[in-house]
Structure 1
Amino acid sequence: MSADSPRTAGYARRRRGLWIALAILVAVIALVVFHIVNRKPARIGAPAQVVSVATAHRGDMPEILRSLGTVTPLATVTVLPQLSGYLTEVGYQEGQDVKKGQFLAQIDPRQYQISKQQAQAQLAKDQATLDQARADLARYTQLYQKKSIAEQQYMDQKFLVEQSEAAVKADKANIAQFDLDLAYCRITAPVDGRVGLRLVDPGNYVTPSSSTGIVVITTMKPTTVQFTVPQDSLGKVLDRVNSGAKLPVTLYNSDNTRQLATGTLYAMGNQMATSTGTVTLRANFANDDEKLYPNEFVNVQLLVDTLRNTVLVPTPAVQTGAPGDYVFLVNADDSVSVHKVTPGPSDGQYTAILSGLSAGQTVVTDGTDRLSDGARIRVAQAQPASAASAPATPSSAGAAHGNGRRHGAGQNTGSTSAS
C-alpha cells in the first residue's frame, strides 16, 4: 500500500498537468477565435472614379427662343357667289396656281341680261318723257315771261321735268346694277394663290348664302409663321425690336432634323394670352421653294441676341440639384469640388456660364452621377481645347425646345436657352 503511493502521486501530477495544458490550449484557441471575429477590416482607400473632363473656354453664344409654330398664309379666301344662279362652267383645275383676276367659274347670265334689257327699255321711255317735259317747259317759260299763263302751270311743268330726270337716273342705276350682276356671273380670283379641291360642280344652283363657297384660294408665297414666346422672355424681344433690329427666325421640321426656311420677325401681338402667359409673334418667309405648307406645324428658333466672349462649357457639365446649378470643378490633387454657377443660354452642345466659373478651369462632363464633393477622380480622356473652340450654331444644334442638362443622379430635364 505504501509502495504504490509515489506511483499514484506521480500519476495524479501528470494528469493535473495534462488538464492544465488542455485548459491553456483551449484559452489560446478561444483568444485566437475572438481576435479573428472582432478584428477590424483593413482600411482600403475609395477607388478613383473614371470621368471625362473639359476645359471652360470663351466664345460666342446665341440667345435663342424655341417654340412650336404654325404656317399661316397671308391670305386664305373662300370664293362665294354674289348672286344666285346655275353654275354653268368651272375654269380651273384642282390644285392649280392662279393669278388675281383669273377666270374661275361662270353663273348662267341670261336672267340678268334680260333684266338689263328691260331696264334699258324703261330708260328709253323715261328719257323720251323727259325730253317732252323739257320741251314743254321751254314753251311754258316763254309764255310765263309774257304773262300768258299762270305761274302755277309753269311751276307744275318745272316739277314734272325734275321728276322725269329722277326717273332717268333711276333707270341708269338699274342698268348699272345689272351690269354689275353680269360681272358677278363671271367669277374671278380675288388674290394670287393656289386653289384647293373643287367644292361645287357645274349644274348646281348656287346662292350667296352658300357657306362652302365655290373654291378656296390660299397664298403660298410669301407666307408667314405664327408662334408664341413666354412673358418672361418678352422684355428682351421688345428691347431688340424697339431698337430697330431685324430678328432672324429659322424653321425646322417637326422632329428638328431638317432646316426648312429662314425669315425675319415682322409683327407682334398686342395682348398677352392670360391662359398661357404668352404673346403671339409672326415672321415672314419668302417660301420660293414652297417647303412651308399652310397650317403645317414647325419648330421655330428666334435669335434674340448673341453673348460675345462669354465662358462656355459642355452642356452635360452643368448639374442641377440641392445646391442649385453647379459643376464639378477638377482640383489640382485629382479631386473634385462642387462649384455653384449661374448658367445662361444654351445651344444644346454648350452652355454659357454667366458667373461662377472662369475660362481655363476644368470641369467634369461625364460620370457626374457617381461623384460627390471631394471625391477622387481619374481622367479617362481629356477633351482637347480645339474640339471646344466654338459653340454649335443654332442650325446645328437641332434640339427641340429646352436642351437637356443633367440633374442630381444623372436624370435629364429641359432647360430653355433663353426663357
Structure 2
Amino acid sequence: MTSSAQIFAAFAGLGLLTLVPAVAVAQDGPPPAIIRSATIVERDMARTITTPASVVARNDARIAAEASGRITFIAEAGDRIEAGGLIAQMDDRQARIALDESRARLARATANGDYQSAEAARFESLARNGTVPPTRLREVELARDLALQDVREARSAVSRAELELERTRILAPFAGRVVERLIQAGELSAPGRDIARIVDIDHKEAVAQAPVAIAPYLSLGQEVVLSMGEGGSTTAPIRAIIPVGDAVSRTFEVRIDLAGSDWIVGSAARAAFPAETPRTQLAAPYDAVILRSNGAFIFTVDADNIAHQIAVTAGVRDNGFIAIAGDVAAGQRVVVSGAETLSDGRMVQELGEDA
C-alpha cells in the first residue's frame, strides 16, 4: 500500500504541475488583436446628391471636304494628328495646273503694268513741256490704270488658285485621334462630304444634369467626386455651369474638367454634388464604421492600446470619409482594419507599415 500511495502521489503531483500553465494562460487572457488605425478628423462636409454623367471630349468633329477630287491618302483610324496635321490628301494635279496658269497671267499683267506706268510717267513729263496734247496724256494714263487693274485681278486669281490647292489638303483643326474614316482612298469626294471623325482625347470633361435646386451650392472650380463603377473615382473641378434649366426635368448642365485623365470618352460615370452648405463635422475613414442591425459603432484605441466600442450616428460621405456623431473627439485613434473580431476592452497591437 505504501508503494501504491507513493505512486499515486507522484502522478497527482505531475497532474498539478500540468494544470499550472493552463491557469496562467487563462489569467493572462487572449493575445492582442492586430489592427490598423487612423485618426478622427474635422472636415467641412455636406450632404450630396448623385447624378449620372457622361465622359465627352471638348473637341469632337467630323471633318468635311471643301473641294472636289479623288482621295489619294487618308489617315488610319487610331492615328494621332497634331493641330494642322494632314488627315487626307486629294489629287491636286488640276489645282496645281490652275495655279501655274494664274501665276503666268499675273506675270504678264505685271509686265504690262510696269510698261504702261513708265509710259504714263514719260508722257506726263512731255505734257509739262507742252510737247504732247492733254488728250494724249489722258489716253496713256487710262491705259496705265487699266493695266494696274489687270495686275490686281491677276493677283487675286493667284490667291484663289492657291486656296483651291490648299483645299486639296484636309488638315486637323485641333490635335486629336482619328476615330473613324468616313471615306476610303480612291473614292471621289465633293464639297461638304465628311472625310473623318477626329476626337481630342487630351481635353475631356464629364457632362452631368444636376437638379436646379442645388444650383446655389455649386460654383466654378469647385471640386466634386466622379465615380465609374469598378473603374474607381476621382476628384475634379467644375469647368462650366450652364445656367439654363430644362423646364420638364428641372435640371441644368454641369461640365466637370477631366483634362489629362485616362477615362475613355463615352464612359458612363456618376457625379456627387453638394446639396447643402458644407459645415465642419467629425469624420473617420469609411472602414472605421461598422454597421449592424442594431446600429453603427466604431472602436477607438486609448493610450494603453485598449479598444473601446462606441456607438455613433453615421452621416454624409465625402472623398473616403464619413461623418460621425457620438462620444468621440477629433484626434482619437480609430480602428480601420481588424475591427470585425474586436470586443470592448480588448488589447490591440498596431500592424506595422512593412507588414
- TM-score by length of structure 2 reads 0.67
* Aligned residue identity for 1:300: A
Residue of structure 2 aligned with 1:296, choices 267, 284, 303:
267
Checking the alignment, whether the CA contact within 8 Å between 2:296 and 2:312 is kept in structure 1 is: no
Does the alignment pair 1:82 with 2:100? no
CA–CA distance in structure 1, aligned partners of residues 273 and 216 of structure 2: 14
Following superposition, the deviation at residue 64 of structure 1 comes to 1.8
Which SS does the other structure have where 2:55 is aligned?
strand
* Matching of residue 101 in structure 1 with residue 84 in structure 2: yes
Deviation at 1:386, TM superposition (A): 4.3
Structure with larger Rg = 1
Per the alignment, residue 169 of structure 2 pairs with 186
1:95 partner amino acid: G
Question: Where does residue 159 of structure 1 map in the other structure?
Answer: 142
Indicate the SS of the match to 2:254. strand
Separation in 1, partners of 2:230, 2:118: 86
- How far has the Cα of 1:383 moved from its partner? 4.1
In structure 2, relative to structure 1, the CA distance for the partners of 1:260 and 1:216 (3 Å cut) is farther
> Do 2:51 and 2:208's aligned partners in 1 also have CA atoms closer than 8 Å?
yes
Q: Which amino acid aligns with 2:202?
A: K
**Counterpart of 1:196?**
179
2:48 matched to 1:64?
A: yes
For residues 339-358 of structure 1, the aligned pairs below 5 Å read: none
Partner residue, 2:255: 282
Q: Which residue of 2 aligns with 1:73?
A: 57
User: Given the alignment of the two structures, is residue 236 of structure 1 paired with residue 208 of structure 2, yes or no?
Assistant: no
User: Counterpart of 1:100 in 2: which secondary structure?
Assistant: coil
List gaps (5 residues or longer) in structure 2: 1-40, 299-308, 323-355
Whether the 8 Å contact between 2:217 and 2:274 is mirrored in structure 1 is no
1:141 offset after TM fit, Å? 0.9
Q: Is the aligned partner of 1:219 residue 2:200?
A: yes
> In the TM superposition, what is the alpha-carbon distance from 1:123 to its structure 2 partner?
1.2
1:11-410 equivalence runs, <5 A: 61-90=45-74, 92-210=75-193, 213-237=194-218, 241=219, 246-253=221-228, 256-288=229-261, 290-291=262-263, 293-303=264-274, 305-309=277-281, 366=293, 383=297, 386=310, 388=312, 393-396=317-320
The percent identity for this pair of structures is 18
Contact 2:126 2:132 in 1 (8 A): yes
- Aligned pair count reads 267
Q: Is the 8 A contact 1:230 1:279 kept in 2?
A: yes
By how many angstroms is 1:257 displaced? 4.5
Looking at structure 2, the residues matched to 156 and 269 of structure 1 have their Cα atoms a distance apart, in angstroms, of: 67
CA distance in 2: counterparts of 1:224 and 1:128, whole angstroms = 58
Letter in 2 for 1:262: T
Distance change (3 Å), C-alpha of 1:301 and 1:280: same
Report SS of the residue matched to 2:46: strand
Q: What TM-score do the two structures reach when normalised by structure 1? A: 0.57
Deviation at 1:87, TM superposition (A): 0.6
Note closer, same or farther for the CA distance 1:382–1:196 as it changes in structure 2 (3 Å cut). closer
CA RMSD, Structure 1 to Structure 2 (Å) = 3.2
